[in-house]
Structure 1
C-alpha cells in the first residue's frame, strides 16, 4: 500500500479546504494510506519569489523537518503544482552545497502533484465512480506545465469522469495572469490576462475551467464573478471526487 504524506499549501488550507479533503477522498479510494502532519506550514514560495532568499530558506528548512525521509513506498503529494515546483526546483538553489542538500534531494525524489502521482507513479488513469455532467476546458498552469512537466495526466483522469467532455481552448498553455506578487505589482496586466483566458474558455462553450492550481483558479474566478461570466472554476481534485 502506498503511504502518502499530504502537503497542503497555504492557499488550499486557508481558502479551499474542501479541495484538500477531496484529494484525501481520492487517494484513499485508490488504496493509499494517507497521513497529515499538522505542524506543516508554507513551502517558502512567496518569500522566494519576492527575492527574500534567506527568509525562504528558513521556511524551506522547516519543510524538510516536516517531511522527514520515508521508506521506498512513501511519497509526498500535494494538490498544487506551484508548490511542488517550488520544492522540486527552487530548493535546489537554496540548499546547494549546504548540509541539507542530501536531505532535500531525498524530498525532491518523492514529492508529486496529485495527478502526476496518480498517473505516473500509481498507473491510475480513472477514478471509479467519478461523475460530473457537462463540458470542461483545461488550463495548463505555468508551474504544472513548465516546472513539473505535467500536461497529459490531469486530462487523462478528467476524460475518464463519467458525463464529462473536454473542449480544448485556444492558448491553454498561456499564463492566466496570477503569478503571485505579479498580480499585485502589475494589476492591470494581470486582469487583462485573466480576461483573455476566460474569453478563450467561454469560446469553447464549456461549463467549467479545470486546473491543478487553486491560485490560478482563484484569480480566474475573481474575474468571472466580477464580470458575471457564465462559467465556473473547479480544481481537478474536486472533479475527481464528484458523484460518489
Structure 2
C-alpha cells in the first residue's frame, strides 16, 4: 500500500469522532484497571488484570503510531507538548520493570495514563491551557492572599496563643488554623473559643473570611473565566480562518480590539 494512502487513512481515522470516543473509553477502562489493583483480590484475577494492563499499553502504542503516521507534518508532531507527553507515557509503560526496583515508578507512570484524557478531549485541553495561561495573573492574587494570611496569623498568634497553643502556637500553625477557617471546617468552634476571652474577636474571623473566601477566591474565578473566554474566542477565530469564514481585515480589527482591552487592563492595574 502506498504510504500517502496509508497516511490519509490514518489521518481520517485519528480525526474520526468514534475513534476518539473509543480511545477515551480505553483510557477510562485503564483507570478502572489501575484502581482494581489497589484492592485485595485473588491471584488469578490479578493475573487477568495484568494481561488487560498489557493489552491497554499496546493499544496506546498502536494509537500513538496511528496519530504519528497520520500527521501530515511529521516534524511538528513532537512540537506539540501533548503529543510528547502521550509518547513518553506510552514508551515508559512498555519498559518491563515489574520485578525491579523501578516497579513503583512503573505503577506511577501507568497512573498518569489517565491524564491522556486531556490530550484527547479538546474541552479539557482548553481548560488546562487556560489555567496555565492564567497563572501569571493568579500569582499576584496568591501573593496578596499570602500577605493577608501572614498578617492575620501574626495577629492571631499574638492574641490567642494563651487561649489555645495548639491552634495559635506560632505563626505557621496560626496560618494552618486560618486555612481551616477559610474552608469553613468547624471554624465556629475556633471563633467561640476565642470569644470567651475576647468577645469582639468575631470581627477578626469575619473580616478574614470576607477578604479570603469571598473576595480573593472570586477574583481567582474571574481571572480563570476571563482567560477561558479569550482562549475560546481565539480558538473560534483560528477555526474560522481555517474554514475561510473570516477575512484578514476582520482579523486585524479583532486584534486591535484585543490590544485596546489589554492596554485598558494594564492601565487599570497601574492605577491599583
Structure 2 length-normalised TM: 0.26
Bigger-Rg structure (1/2): 2
With structure 1 as the length reference, what TM-score do the two structures score? Answer: 0.28
